[in-house]
Structures are given as structure tokens and as C-alpha cells.
Amino acid sequence: MDQQSQNRHRRRRRVADTSRKRAARACDRCKARKSKCIETRPGSCQRCQASNLSCHFEKERLPSSDSETSTPRPVVFQNEVLDGPEENITIDNHPTESILWPRFLSRLRQAFFIDSVPNPEEQEVVVTQAQTAHTNRLSDSEYARLKSVVDSFPPRPVADFLVSVCIRHGVDIFFYFDQAQIMDEIAQFYTNSSSPLRTDPSFICLALGLFALGSNWTPLERPIDSPLPHGDDSDLGRVFFRQAKLLIPDVIERTDLKAIQACFLLGIYLMPLNAAGSSYVYMGMALRKALAFDLHQSPDDQMIDDREKEIRCRLWWSIYSLERCTTLKLNRPRSVPANIIGIPLPSPMPSLDRDQKFENLELQIAYARLMLILDGYSDSTSWLTNHSTPTDPNKIQAELRSWKRSLPEEFDLEDTDPRSSRYRAIFHLYLNYYYSWIVIGKASLIMRVRASLQRHLGQGSQPRPVDPIAENLSASCTRAAKKLLQLFEKLVQSGNSARFSFTDFQGCSIATIITLIAGILQRDSTYDTRVNFGLNCLRQMVNGNPAATVGVKFVETLQSISNESARKLRQSGTFTDTHEREEATSPSAYNYWAEWLAAQERSFNQGYSVPARETTSGNVPVGGTPSLWPVSITLGESWSGELHPGVEASSAQRPSISLPSGASGLDIGGNDHLSTLYHDDQNFLMGLTGFDVLDFAGYSS
């Protein structure tokens, strides 16, 4: 057979289009990806239509017939498209809209011992579903809303500055996005006016969330001689969040990776403002959308490459870990059990890791492992309520110690450069570690303190003796609180203390509260120094947050209660006091951002009369760097037990145990703050201070 006959033989169709296993033709995009191309209307395939991309076919379709004709037909080579019936047909970037019918029907035919090749009727089912698949087209009103938001985007230098700040300081121990990809997409957005990203609500919302989160960390980039932003600086990202909120209805309707990332970033941004309210809701939305997107399962899609699989894996574990940690700290029920997770922990991928400006894979893995340890015991009511000790406390303590021993050497905070972006990330890893010890031992500590008070003050029936397991957990809880306060001293001395942070405030608050409760029974020579340091840290962290202001007063009130209980206990005549053993960017980029932010605020407030706000004593001194606290806020004791030189004597002053009759910490500032807190704010307050975790409501006289 000559060459011409062979070519003609290869191009000959023996079956009608409706009965063919492979696509009659493929657009350029599907052909390059070797994907099944389903043409839903002339000149447009289902993949490109769903992704709002232009669709181009090399040749126009010609009328087909069941019989062979001499009309030239498009050439379809075997390596240009995949065998349709045996492959998952997916929409790019929309795996949850996977058309699973081909594989399902093929397996169904095999289950009943018939030929796996589908008939024309079954092929029609696939085409019908593809044609009816959701295409995420924007309505006129949605497009108008999106365009107004796009028009309000900051200038390119401001956007680049905020992206850089967010990656450097805001990524921490999580994975938000592929950093190289998001920077490339931001550049494409600004340089290509016809980019499909400009009509993608998910990307626009994600970018705004990134800008908002980055704005919260700009104080760490402020040069000493640069002015502070004008107006209220307690929420520097509000100008972006206001725009992002407008797109939430559109984002909720979309099931794609960027929609999940947008909800996740907005939840993190809102955490300092209202962790128990709006942040909790946004975090829950991100988790639910991740579940709907099957991020918790290994993708059964041959079209997803290894890089995207790893991105999905890292995003899932970050969302799951932070949401799980937050629900524990807010004493909320868990959202999803760990046993539904069908993917492994993140793993190294050099091609992905080297593209990240802030590479934190080991931190992601360590944090996820820690949350899995805690999640393994969250089903037991013993450590979430105040009635018993964990069923197997030795196991969880061994797992926590093993987790700490497994950390890489470079995670030693003492050896970490304080100027490195990794410093605060490693700090938060240890914060959550010590917090875990507090959570598993807090019930035993309170039970031990109450039993001692009941026994020595003779109130009610005599309590049962505290068993050795509870004694051990109580001691571990107290030691963890002490270690946590020492950790905060390192943070202050390193100059890495930032603006108000829910994680930092709650960690410092719970450590101070545990110290106060344990101090009812035992007060060593460092007790008052530790309490004063914790309270001073909390006062510095307030930064104008009304709930945090009241939270400090709550802790001060607990201090007065602790002092009064300790005084009564020592006056009982039957209590012998014991002591614990003592254990040994460029300035121009920032200025450009500050000027642009001030202009946006003036534009927004135009036409409104905003009353002047009194400055509080907690404001940063003029000319000072708002991210740094006075170094004099210290425990007054180094890790070796020696005093720090230059520490003021007032910082170590011991407060008197006795209080004037009727005095309390809340009397200091009156009850004005309490009257302004609504129900959600009070829930936030309880979670913010850590009182929710201690569950004091479970105790009665």
C-alpha cells in the first residue's frame, strides 16, 4: 500500500460521530492538554466556556454522515485526545464539576459482565450533562458589581507592596496559595486589561483578602521616620474588606480553588476583629467549600497534575488545622472528624517549594500533626469538660513529647534570627504546643484547687482525694503556662510583637489565667513577676479593640478573686503554703501605601461626620514603631534564672493579697464597656480571654 493510501486509510471514519469513543475534533486548549473536548455549541467547548476562556478550533466542523464521503475531514491523531469513556472528564479548575458519568457507566457495564464500550444512548447522557453543567456566567448586575470593585483596586506599587508584606509576615505556619502563581496573576491583572482574571469574582475576592491581610502587617514594615496612617489604625485592611464583602454572594455560588482561598483569607483577616463571630463563619465557609471541592480526598482525576494535587493537599491541611485549633480555643464543637480525611500530610516538592518566597513546608506539617494529636482526644468529654481526666493521659502526653522531639533543629527559637519571617511562625508553633498541655490539664488543675479550698475552708462535703494522674496533669498545665509566658518574653525582647492578634492575646491570657488559678495554692518567688508581665502584655496588645479592653479587665478581676481566695486559704489555719520548684521593605513602598490608604479613607468618609475619638493611654508614642513594645515589659528573669540588667524595680513589685472591701478589677474602668457588648461580642470575649476553654460554668458551689 502506497503512502497516499495509508494516509487516506488513517483518516477514514467507520462510525458516526454519535457512536465514536473519541472526540471528532478538539479545540487548541483541550488538544494541548490531551483532554476530552466536548463542544456544547458551535465554536465553543464545555471546558473553555466554564472557565470563561476563548475557544479556538483549528478547522470548522463539516457535516458528517454515517457513510464515507470524499470530503476532507479533520485529522485526529491518537495522541491528541484521550479515550473518552475510560477517563474522568473534568472542567479545568473545577474538579467538583467532574463529569463522572463515563467512568460510572463503564464500571456499571463491567459489573453486569457486558462490554465496557458504551452505546450511543449512554454517550448522549454524557453530552447532555456537559451541556447543562453550571458555567458560572455573570449576570449584568454581577458584572456591574464586579467592575466597580475592580475599578477600586489600588495602584500596582501598592498591590505589590501588600502582597510582599502578606507573604513575608502573614503566611506564618499555613499555606494560603502558590505564592509564585498569585504574584504572576496579580501582575497579569494589572498588565493585561483583557485578562479573564478581571471577570473572575473568586480571584478578585482572593486578591482583596490578600491586600486586607497584608495591610494588618504593614506596621512591621514602617520605617522609623515614616508617619503613622491617618485615622483609626485598628483595622488597616477595612478598605479592602468592604469591597470583598460585596463579592461574597458571587463567591459562595462558585466552587473553585480560589473561592475557597478567598473565604480562608478573609476568615484569617477577621480573626483579630471577631474570632467567635464573622471569622468563625468565614472559616466554616472555607471548610465547607473545601469539603464540597473534595480537597480532603485524593483526586481521582487524571487531568490534575502532581503540583496541583500538592497545592490542594497543603490548602486542605491548613484550613482543617486552623479551623480545628480555633474551635478548640473557642470551646466550639468540631466541624469534621479527622477520620474522613483521605489524603496524606503535605510532602516536599522541590518544583513547588523553590517557587515560594516564604517556604514553610516543615512548619505546615508540624502544625497539622499537632492538631491531629489534639483531635484524637477531642471525642472524649474528659478533656473538654471538667468532670474527669483523660482516659489515657499517658498516651497523649507521650505523643506531645514525641512531637516536640521530632521538630527539626532549625525550629529552635533561640537560634532563629529575630529579623527572619520564620521567627513568629516558629513562635506560634510552640505557643500552640504549650497551649495543648494547658488544655489537657486545665480540668485537673481546677479540680485540685477546688478540692483544696473545699477541704481547708470546710464548705460542703469533704471532697475525694485528687488522684496522682490529676496531680500530674495539673502540674504539667501550670508548667506549660509558665513556659508560655517565657515564650512571650522572648517575643517582646526580639521586637517581633505585632498589633492586636487573636492568637497572641488568647495565648497570653490563658497562660496568665492558669498562673492566677495555680497561685491560689502555690506562689513561688517569680509568681508576681509572671502575673505582672502577663497583664502588661495584654494591656499592650489591646490596641483599641473594645472586647480586648474588657478582656484585660476580666483577667484583672480573676486576679482579685485569686488573691482573695489565697488570703482566705492562708487565714484558715489548716493550710500549709508550699512553693513550686523554680526552673531554670523599602521606605518608599510603605509611604506610597500609607498615602494611598489615607486618600481612600478620606474618600469613604466624605459626607459623614465622624466624632473625634479620645486617645487612650495604650497608644504608641509619637515616633515609635507601633509593632514594638517597650523592652522593659519583661519577666525580670532570664532563662538561666538571672535578672535582666536595667529592669525597673516597679516591674517586680509584689501586689498585696488583701483587697479593699467590694473592690474588683472591673471597678477600675466602670461598666461602660460591658454595656456596649452584644451577645456575639461577649462570646468573642470569652473565647478571646480563654475563659471559654476553662468552662467555669461547669462548676457550682
Return the pLDDT at 470. 87
- What's the average pLDDT block by block, 10 residues per block, for the chain (701 residues)? 57 52 68 69 67 60 42 37 37 41 66 69 58 62 88 93 92 93 95 92 96 88 73 74 93 90 95 81 94 88 83 96 90 87 94 93 96 76 46 85 94 90 93 94 90 78 78 93 95 80 91 94 91 93 80 92 89 64 59 75 60 39 36 44 33 36 40 44 62 56 46
Coil vs helix vs strand at 44 = strand
- In the chain, DSSP finds a helix count (H) and a strand count (E) of 25, 4
Bridge partners of 522? 578
How large is the angle between the packed helices 393-405 and 422-457, nearest 10 degrees? Answer: 150
CA distances to 55, 352, 429, 497, 501 from 271, rounded to whole Å, are: 42, 29, 18, 17, 8
Question: Which cell numbers in the block locate residue 199?
Answer: 471577570
- Environment class of residue 307 by beta-carbon count within 10 Å: exposed (0-12), middle (13-18) or buried (19+)? middle
Q: Is 645 left (phi over 0), alpha (psi -120 to 50) or beta?
A: beta
Question: Which cell numbers in the block locate residue 498?
Answer: 505585632
Q: How far apart are alpha carbons 227 and 598 in whole angstroms?
A: 11
Q: How far apart are alpha carbons 412 and 487 in whole angstroms?
A: 12
Which amino acid is it at 673? Answer: H
Q: How far apart are alpha carbons 420 and 427 in whole angstroms?
A: 12
CA distances to 53, 211, 292 from 47, rounded to whole Å, are: 8, 30, 20
Q: How far apart are alpha carbons 409 and 76 in whole angstroms?
A: 56
Closest CA to 554 of 648, 684, 371: 684
Q: What is the DSSP letter of 169?
A: I
Question: Which cell numbers in the block locate residue 506?
Answer: 488568647
Question: Which cell numbers in the block locate residue 658?
Answer: 488583701
Return the pLDDT at 42. 62
Q: What is the DSSP letter of 262?
A: H
Let me know the angle formed at the C-alpha of 186 by 182 and 190, rounded to the nearest 5 degrees: 170
Rg of the chain over CA atoms, in angstroms?
Answer: 31
Query: Cβ distance 215 to 221 under 8 Å?
Result: no
Let me know the angle formed at the C-alpha of 663 by 661 and 665, rounded to the nearest 5 degrees: 155
Query: Cβ distance 695 to 331 under 8 Å?
Result: yes
Q: How far apart are alpha carbons 134 and 40 in whole angstroms?
A: 12
Say whether pTM exceeds 0.85: no
Query: Cβ distance 15 to 60 under 8 Å?
Result: no
At 412, phi and psi to the nearest 5? -75, 115
Q: How far apart are alpha carbons 534 and 511 in whole angstroms?
A: 8
